[in-house]
Amino acid sequence: MGKYLHVLNIGIQNTLVYRTNFLFRAAAGLIPLTGTLYLWKSVYAGQSGSEMVGGYTLIQMISYYLVVTLVDACTAVAEDDWQIAADIKDGNISQFLLKPIDYLAYRLCLYASGRAIYTTVALVPVALFIFSLRNYFAMPSDAATLGLFLVSTLLAGLLQFFIAYVMALLAFWVLDVSTFIFIQFAFEYIASGHLFPIDILPRWLALAVQFTPYPYLLHFPVSVYLGRITGPRMWQGFAVQAAWVLLGYGLARFVWARGVRRYSAVGG
Amino acid sequence: MTPRNPLPAWRRYPLLYASLWRNSVVREMQFKTNFLLWIVVELLWFGLQLAFMSVVYAHTESIAGWTRWQVVLLVGCSHFVQQVFTAFFFTNLTEISEHIRTGRMDFFLLLPVNTRFLISFRKVDLGAFINAATAAGVIVFALRRLGQVPSFAESLGFAAMCFAGLVIHYSLMFLFATVAFWTVRAQGIVWGYYNLFNIARVPDGAFPPGMFRRVFTYVLPMILVANVPARVLLGTLRSPWELLLLAGIAGACFVVSELAWRLSLRHYAGASS
């Protein structure tokens, strides 16, 4: 255990170097978000009679995007997948095969420390942004909701990590994984609810998406936060989310084992 | 020693550019699958933008006065300008900070060509031309759904405005890239610019008057780059001043980027010192 705490520490030190970069990235991300929010505001402004669009009030819709931004800051993989793929391609994983350190645990520590620093830095511009929109920002209904939201965000982070990890392990089989990662990310972007809440999709499509792990990355935690999913349906959601995390973990172990069997270190 | 029979610049530069093109084609064709997969990636993201708008229009009739197919055309215009920009410049501009970090910039500065020309036009992204063509296809399709046929003058105006948009994208990103002369690690700044593209596809009427609108109209004119060409094609231009505004800002951006480039070069002391 001690050695992984050490890895966490190294991860924090390494990512602290990029704090200005993170600050800039977080702030730049608010520009397209502002565009999207203005777009939705004019959709609501053009609505005659009804105040709802797809079952969302304007406040819920804007809060949805703001909470997505928060969850995304906490969970999005930044460089992790590229680094894992590069480690495999350049033969750096050889040292992990020889040492009593588990590569998955090692990467998870680096991911966790990277996210901790990024979230801390990003919180400055994001909090200012949310404050400027405070009239449109819904707070969680009670402390229990907030707690459940944090738990589902944590699970979402694990799931996000395992998806990125498995995608990066493709580097055992293909030379350049970047296109695969981008294609996967395009699906994730729409099916996780990053682009818009999935429940405003046509019913059959929204239902189909529910069978993929993606909604549990963003849509589910945000729905818990907004209180749009409660009671037995929420507990069921937690169970499915946990199941996806376990499945992701199993797949990560399995693909790694298969990959290592194929692996011949560069120069080795 | 002066070279014998130096060709005049108007013949030298097109010849030089032709050989840069040849290099790019050879480079791209080395990795054919990768080349095709990148086209798929771009197509997916374009599809995503269109999907977003179609989901929004499933719940509304118009956004800030723009109907569904007008917005599809707007998204097409935004993607078209962006892809043409990617085809000619994007890779080159993202590499500028690498040139400085690795010292390759010193080598470019010594070559007997205009350095800005060389670092701006070095590589051509062929896949982006295909993506630009799909965007053009979407624009034509949207026009047909609207039952509109732009006149010759409107088409010419559209082309001119797309060119102005291209100049704006190029100049602004070049300007950001030259910051690398001071900080070296400007990669983040260049990628941050990619975020700006995203607001180009939002209908201009959605932005309420205020700081945000002013900044992204007059300083970083992202609200204009796709909206003005789209309005030219749709015939919904509110005043001919919009054309002059976009052209004027394009010229201004280019001049500013050139001044910043010269200032950066004067400040630059080489990679090893």
Contact B40 A190 (CB under 8 A): no
Closest by alpha carbon to B199, among B84, B85, B78, B90? Answer: B78
Return the number of CB contacts < 8 Å for A and B: 90
Q: Given this model, what pLDDT does residue A238 score?
A: 97
Substitution target in B53, B60, B212, B222 with the highest count of A β-carbons within 10 Å is B60
CA distance A83 to B22: 33
Cβ contacts (< 8 Å) between A31 and chain B: which residues?
195-196, 198-199
Closest by alpha carbon to B63, among A80, A252, A198, A35? Answer: A35
Q: Which residue of A has its CA nearest to B220?
A: A31
3-class SS at A151? helix
Contact A200 B45 (CB under 8 A): no
Q: Given this model, what pLDDT does residue B159 score?
A: 96
Q: Given this model, what pLDDT does residue A268 score?
A: 47
Task: Choose the closest CB to B202 out of A24, A38, A183.
Answer: A38
- How far apart are the CA of B206 and the nearest CA of chain A, in angstroms? 6
Closest by alpha carbon to B27, among B101, B91, B119? Answer: B91
Enumerate residues 6+ apart whose C-beta is below 8 A from B95.
Answer: B119, B122, B123
Q: Given this model, what pLDDT does residue A96 score?
A: 87
Cβ contacts (< 8 Å) between A196 and chain B: which residues?
52, 55-56
pLDDT tens digits, one per residue of B49-58: 999 999 999 8
Task: Choose the closest CB to B63 out of A43, A180, A196.
Answer: A43
CA distance A37 to A62: 7
Task: Choose the closest CB to B196 out of A31, A39, A43.
Answer: A31
Per-residue pLDDT in tens (0 to 9) along chain B, 273 residues = 455 667 788 888 889 999 999 998 888 888 888 889 889 999 999 999 999 999 999 888 889 899 999 999 999 999 999 999 999 999 898 888 888 888 888 889 888 889 999 999 999 999 999 999 999 999 999 999 999 999 999 999 999 999 999 999 999 999 888 877 776 565 666 667 778 888 999 999 999 999 999 999 998 899 999 999 999 999 998 888 889 999 999 999 999 999 999 998 888 877 664
Q: Given this model, what pLDDT does residue B186 score?
A: 59
Q: Given this model, what pLDDT does residue B2 score?
A: 55
Q: Which residue of B has its CA nearest to A183?
A: B41
Per-residue pLDDT in tens (0 to 9) along chain A, 268 residues = 788 888 888 888 888 877 887 888 888 889 999 999 999 999 998 887 678 888 899 999 999 999 999 999 999 998 899 999 999 988 888 888 888 889 999 999 999 999 999 999 999 999 999 999 999 999 998 999 999 999 999 999 999 999 999 999 999 998 889 889 999 999 999 999 999 999 999 889 999 999 999 999 999 999 999 999 999 999 999 999 999 999 999 999 999 999 988 887 655 4
Residue B150, sorted as left (phi over 0), alpha (psi -120 to 50) or beta, turns out to be beta
- How far apart are the CA of B112 and the nearest CA of chain A, in angstroms? 36
3-class SS at A200? helix
Contact B56 A32 (CB under 8 A): no
The pair phi, psi for residue B26, each rounded to 5°, is: -60, -45
Task: Choose the closest CB to B188 out of A25, A35, A176.
Answer: A25
Residue whose structure tokens are 């999907």: B51
Contact B60 A202 (CB under 8 A): no
Substitution target in A18, A21, A30, A38 with the highest count of B β-carbons within 10 Å is A38
- How remote is the C-alpha of B238 from its chain's centroid? 24
Contact A190 B196 (CB under 8 A): no
Q: Given this model, what pLDDT does residue A125 score?
A: 94
Which residues face B62 on adjacent strands? Answer: B67
Cβ contacts (< 8 Å) between B196 and chain A: which residues?
28, 31-32
The question of ipTM being above 0.90 is answered as no
